[in-house]
Amino acid sequence: MDRIFETSLDFAKKKDQEDSVAKYRDRFFLQPGIIYMDGNSLGLSSKDGEETLKIVNEKWKKYGVTIWNIEDGKYFLYQDFLGAKMAKLIGALPEEVTIMGSTTMNLHSAIATFYHPTKEKYKIIVDDLNFPTDRYAIDSQVKLHGLDVEQAVKVVPSPDGKLIDEDAMIEAMTDDVAMIILPTVLYRSAQIVDMKKITKAAHEKGIIVGWDLCHAIGAIEMDFSDIQPDFAVWCNYKYLNGGPGAIAGFYINKKHFKMEPGLAGWHGNKKETQFQLKQKFEHNTNNAGGWQTGTQPLLSMAPLEGSLSIFEEVGMPTLRKKSLDITAYLMFLADEKLAKYGFSVGNPREDAKRGGHVCLEHEEAYRICSALKEKNVIPDFREPNVIRLAPIALYTSYEDVYKLVEILEEIGANKLYEKFDNTRAMVV
Ligand SMILES: *Cc1c(COP(=O)(O)O)cnc(C)c1O
């Protein structure tokens, strides 16, 4: 899509005035003087989320253990209530989504459910760019079956170290492949992987397909009713603003509701008989809640209720439209003002191929991030040379982006990064 941008501050201000999403900025806790560009690592706290957290805390104070019974069991079934709200973000059925665990644990749960290797069909296809925790989970699940990781995990390398080649993934789908697990949006290059094409090709070969939506949910539009993958996992603390380490998301296709969960627990039991506390597990086959394990952490879930209501109010199409526009504006300014200082845009340029963040590359990326922090900008750095910048549609203004680029220009022109150490901090 052709967009016309200008380099002036007045232009940024005009864009903000015309922006229908701009009013939501007030619903978030932005710190004065700070330009927050890291909402794809940890989304900001919202007033709506704080409110629902307070409500749950008040109910705990007032009702004690009977919190599980009030309001027709709202909190006993809170994971399914929130899951149904979240399902809209990915075009899934309300019963196909639940909230539980962490991304990593949910991946363990899905693999434990779907991975039943045989002599003939035992390989799991992965890429070599995904966030490493996914690989750690996959490798350890393979080992639990007594298999050799080198043999069973089929790594399809990226041709350029930045992007996944979908055709290479499909070519790798030989008869011995049992499962494929990939990210939907790459955490470094922001590439959107074609879920439909890969899912379809895999299913034609009898391969189970799982997607990691961490950098996709709340950032891009997805239609699972069309894609029909087998499972998906994601965290809720990035674009969904659920809070640091918020409880994660889990999707399981309705056609698999009767499968036995690989990691079972009493909250995955049929709701009607759960409190009969029988020794024998009776799997809840009505919804994704059948994959729950232990008691749900209400206080970790509560901010999501408020946060999701903002998403319901604005709608993903509107958010995605702004996100594409504001990230395109950032890329435009980077080309115009930063290229001469050695910065380059590392993400795909095409709308259909890029997620919610901009991947700005520079050989001094780490030290530039330190210089940005000193100037009250919160970016994040990813090895080896990536400055990730996420102008989040809900709370970032065009003026923020303008100022960010102005600061980067100053850092680049005067080599302000030179005074910083290149030794990596514990959390970067
Ligand atoms: C952020 C992220 C994770 C995080 O996993 P947790 O279990 O929530 O810590 C996993 N995978 C990807 C692709 C991510 O971007």
- Known binding residues for pyridoxal 5'-phosphate: 103-104, 131-134, 212, 215, 237, 266, 295
Burial 94-116 (b: 16+ CB within 10 A, else e): ebbbbbbbbbbbbbbbbbbbbbe
In this structure, which residue's CA is closest to atom 15 in ligand 1?
214
Q: Can you tell me the distance from the alpha carbon of 32 to that of 92, in angstroms, rounded to the nearest whole number?
A: 38
CB-ligand 1 contact for 235 (6 Å cutoff):
yes
**pLDDT per residue over 226-279, tens digit each?**
999 999 999 999 999 999 999 999 999 999 999 999 999 999 999 999 999 999
Residue 427 binned pLDDT confidence (cut-offs 50, 70, 90): confident
**pLDDT per residue over 101-146, tens digit each?**
999 999 999 999 999 999 999 999 999 999 999 999 999 999 999 9
Residue 425 binned pLDDT confidence (cut-offs 50, 70, 90): confident
In this structure, which residue's CA is closest to atom 11 in ligand 1?
131
Average pLDDT across the chain, whole number: 97
* Numbers of helices and strands, H then E, in the chain: 14, 13
Pocket test for ligand 1, best of 99, 103, 359 (most atoms within 8 A of CB): 103
CB-ligand 1 contact for 388 (6 Å cutoff):
no
Atom number in ligand 1 closest to CA 106: 7
Atom number in ligand 1 closest to CA 103: 7
Q: Is the pLDDT of residue 284 over 70?
A: yes
Residue 426 binned pLDDT confidence (cut-offs 50, 70, 90): confident
Q: What is the mean pLDDT of residues 393-397?
A: 98
Residue type for 175, please? D
CB-ligand 1 contact for 356 (6 Å cutoff):
no
Q: Can you tell me the distance from the alpha carbon of 88 to that of 91, in angstroms, rounded to the nearest whole number?
A: 5
Full-model pTM: 0.97
- Domain annotation for the chain: domains and CATH numbers: 9-30+315-419 (3.90.1150.10), 51-312 (3.40.640.10)
Q: Give me the pLDDT at residue 142, please.
A: 98
Q: Which residues contact 426 (CB under 8 A, 6 or more apart)?
A: none
**pLDDT per residue over 163-190, tens digit each?**
999 999 999 999 999 999 999 999 999 9
What is the 131 CA–ligand 1 centroid distance (Å)?
Answer: 7
Q: What percent of the chain has pLDDT over 70?
A: 100
What is the 105 CA–ligand 1 centroid distance (Å)?
Answer: 10
Q: What is the mean pLDDT of residues 391-411?
A: 98
What is the 214 CA–ligand 1 centroid distance (Å)?
Answer: 6
CB-ligand 1 contact for 400 (6 Å cutoff):
no
The dihedrals phi and psi of 381, each to the nearest 5 degrees, come to -105, 140
Q: Is the pLDDT of residue 1 over 70?
A: no
CB-ligand 1 contact for 127 (6 Å cutoff):
no
What is the 18 CA–ligand 1 centroid distance (Å)?
Answer: 35
